[in-house]
């Protein structure tokens, strides 16, 4: 019965994270859209928290929040970029499942955050490149719009949202009574 209850609690937390992950990009006043780039502060927080819990929760939340960008009426390039979150969320969740202590020290959490942010950016640059060269484009605007705005911008945006997610997860990890992979020392 305990295992069944943990599954129900995990599904409930995943559903709440999906709702938060859809609501933030829809209603946040802190939004910048310079196609193909878009930056909404805290838009990845729900996916990161899901990643801290388990691979199944991470994949579910990343997929459903990606669909949420479509429902919210974002341009298709932004929707597909959001769907790539499945990649970094899965990778991060699997790494945390293997070693849940990664986030316990600054020394191990910084390389983890950088790796996840780089994977995040590479996936979004790949999608943006497909959309970008689907139209008429030149190399100079590609470097600025895709490599700099999407690539470098995503790394920075991802790192900010990762820090917010860690700050939110730190007290939540002690309140949510479901098994979770990531542990963060409370100060």
Q: Express each pLDDT in 12-68 by its tens digit.
A: 999 999 999 999 988 888 888 777 778 888 999 999 999 999 999 999 999 999 999
Calculate Rg over the CA atoms of the chain: 17
Residue 186 placed within a domain:
no
Residue 123 inside a domain? The answer is yes
Within-domain flag for 62: yes
Residue 181 lies in a domain: no
Between CA 101 and CA 183 the distance in angstroms is: 6
Asked if residue 186 has pLDDT above 70, the reply is: no
38: which strand partners? Answer: 33
Domain around 21: 2-175
Least Cα distance to 96 among 180, 7, 10 occurs for 180
Unique residue bearing structure tokens 């996936």 = 123
Number of domains in the chain: 1
Query: What is the spatial distance between Cα 10 and Cα 88, in angstroms, rounded to a whole number?
Result: 20
Q: How far apart are CA 18 and CA 12, in angstroms?
A: 10
* pLDDT tens digit sequence for 57-111: 999 999 999 999 898 888 898 899 999 999 999 999 999 999 999 999 989 999 9
Quote the pLDDT of residue 115. 98
Main-chain dihedrals φ then ψ at residue 181, nearest 5 degrees: -80, -40
Q: Is residue 14 part of a domain?
A: yes
Calculate the CA 164 to chain-centre distance.
11
Backbone angles phi, psi at 39, to 5 degrees: -135, 120
When comparing pLDDT for 177 and 137, which is higher? 177
Q: How far apart are CA 177 and CA 105, in angstroms?
A: 23
pLDDT, mean of residues 137-164: 91
- Domain assignment present for 131: yes
In a domain, 57, yes or no: yes
Tell me the average pLDDT of the chain.
90
pLDDT tens per residue across span 162-182: 999 999 998 988 887 787 888
Residue 120's CATH number? 1.10.1760
- Residue 10 in this model has a pLDDT that exceeds 70: yes
Residue 187, pLDDT score: 52
Does 185 fall in a domain? Answer: no
37 φψ region: left (φ > 0), alpha (ψ -120 to 50), beta (else): beta
pTM of the model: 0.92
């Amino acid at each position: 019965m305990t295992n069944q209850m943990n599954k129900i609690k995990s599904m409930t937390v995943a559903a709440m994270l999906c709702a938060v992950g859809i609501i933030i990009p829809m209603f946040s006043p802190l939004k910048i859209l310079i196609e193909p780039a878009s930056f909404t502060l805290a838009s990845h927080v729900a996916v990161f928290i899901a990643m801290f819990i388990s691979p199944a929760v991470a994949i579910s939340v990343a997929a459903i929040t990606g669909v949420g960008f479509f429902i919210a009426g974002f341009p298709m390039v932004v929707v597909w970029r959001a769907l790539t979150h499945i990649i970094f969320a899965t990778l991060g969740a699997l790494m945390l499942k293997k070693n849940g202590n990664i986030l316990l020290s600054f020394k191990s959490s910084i390389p983890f955050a950088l790796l996840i942010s780089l994977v995040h950016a590479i996936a979004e640059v790949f999608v943006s490149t497909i959309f970008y060269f689907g139209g008429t484009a030149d190399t100079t605007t590609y470097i600025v719009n895709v490599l700099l705005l999407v690539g470098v911008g995503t790394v920075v945006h991802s790192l900010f949202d990762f820090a917010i997610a860690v700050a939110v997860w730190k007290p939540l990890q002690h309140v949510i009574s479901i098994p979770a992979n990531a542990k963060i020392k409370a100060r």
